[in-house]
Structure 1
Amino acid sequence: MLRLRPVLLPLLVVLPVLAVLLGLGTWQVQRLAWKTELIARIADAEAAPAIPLPAEPEPFTKVFVTGRFDHAREALLGLEVRGATLGARLLTPLLREGADPILVDRGWVPVQGDRPIARPEGEQRVTGFIREGETAGRFAAADDVPGRRFYTFDPAAIGAALGLPRVAPFGLTAMGEGGGLPEPARTLPRPTNNHLGYVVTWYGVAAALAGVFLVWARRRLKEDA
């Protein structure tokens, strides 16, 4: 123990840091497994045929639903630039017989311009995937309720702002081939998966720290021998 005294204090400093780095690396391994499974489930859902909308659908489930669009209550969600054109997602309530309306993201439209936007009338069958509701973050842009411009997809809040006392607690992102406005989604969204890089980073830093300390400790012990 006396022989190790010169490196004991640095060792007590290095060990907690090393434990934190290894913990972060292990956490990213778990996140990598979760994200990989999620992306695989999304790919499976995209390849599967659409099913009738269940009462409590899982996120990203590919479904179809019938109803009538209430174009008088449409709104815009978020901001998205395509090419040099600023646009947003067109939200339109779909009125359903015997069920709460559901907010449908019909696709991207330019914020300004005079390009015609299709607004089909009568009974429609809409195919798409389930979108979860969101909670506004601390730095989220404030919704413009009078202008019907929303930046957080909160179905209850948006529905109330549009004069709908009850709406489904989830939304539906319409899918299609496009060809006009709005431009619907063509595939299900896939979250980015950068966790492998984080795993390499945290474990790499931990290995480097351990290596540097071992080299330094060995040299220090030789000097004191």
Structure 2
Amino acid sequence: MSKAGRRLIVPGLTTLLMLLVLIGLGTWQVERLQWKRGVLAQIAVAEAGAPAPLTDAPEPYTKVVVTGRLRTDLAALYGAEVRETLSGPEMGSELIVPLERDGKPPVLVDRGWVPSTRKAPLSQPDGVTTVVGYVRPAAEPGLFSAKDDPVARLFYTLDPAAIGRALGLPTVAPYTIVALGDTPPQRWPDPAKHLPRPPNNHLSYAITWYGLAAALVVIFILWARKTVRR
């Protein structure tokens, strides 16, 4: 092997390793793209259909209806979000309330957004109530998620099991029902108006990774030609 050829070995192997990583990341984004399209299609079907009775193992983001008694004495707050109100931008959270069901474990219901000040009275249904909403799967804490405060009943990760334990409920359904509906006369809590539409940026991410892989190959070829000619 020539001296110029030997100079290409280490850079060539390094480039090959980087190329495999970039192609792997691009392929992973393509797989995520197919998964996200399936989720969005499922959400679109659920949005157009009527709510179905809640089953023991509902599919995520399906529209359901469930009846029970809201334990407003065990209410908790989830997240932190600024929204525009009649008095201007306000910080607030989602109001999480357990719904007791006959013969089944309680299910957490996200009744909607409430401002942190909560100057207006909350809409608090008494007795047996029926909730129409969609199924939101449990979440895991992210790398940069704020730490939950169980004592204050303030949570930043929508983990039904963890929230249930903090509320003294050892067993709850492993998902949350996000209530759908119009804004009540009391204004709070303000429920969701439609099912979520998660962003789908995976195609652009895949193009970026594949583009970087192609650029890496071109750069290495140009560099290798220049090195061999020396």
Q: CA 1:178–1:210 in 2, change beyond 3 Å: closer, same or farther?
A: same
Cα deviations by residue, 1:1-38 (Å, 9 ceiling, x for unpaired):
64972663233332222222222211211111111221
Distance 1:44 1:121 in 2: 32
Equivalent residue number for residue 123 of structure 1: 128
Equivalent residue number for residue 193 of structure 2: 186
Cα deviations by residue, 1:130-177 (Å, 9 ceiling, x for unpaired):
122233345432322232222222222322322333322221110112
What is the RMSD computed on CA atoms of the aligned residues? 2.1
Equivalent residue number for residue 119 of structure 2: 114
* Cα displacement (A) at 1:193: 1.5
Contact kept? 2:108, 2:172, Cα under 8 Å: yes
Out of 145-154 and 194-203, give the one that drifted further: 145-154
* Cα displacement (A) at 1:112: 0.8
Report the count of equivalent residues. Answer: 223
The runs of at least 4 aligned residues of structure 1 exceeding 6 Å deviation read none
Equivalent residue number for residue 74 of structure 1: 75
Q: CA 1:113–1:171 in 2, change beyond 3 Å: closer, same or farther?
A: closer
TM-score (norm 1): 0.89
Taking the TM superposition and a 5 Å limit, the aligned residue runs for 1:98-177 are 98-137=103-142, 139-177=144-182
TM-score (norm 2): 0.87
Distance 2:223 2:169 in 1: 68
**2:12 corresponds to which letter in structure 1?**
L
Contact kept? 2:8, 2:224, Cα under 8 Å: no
Distance 1:17 1:143 in 2: 39
Percent identity for Structure 1 against Structure 2: 51
Out of 4-13 and 27-36, give the one that drifted further: 4-13
- 1:125 match: secondary structure: strand
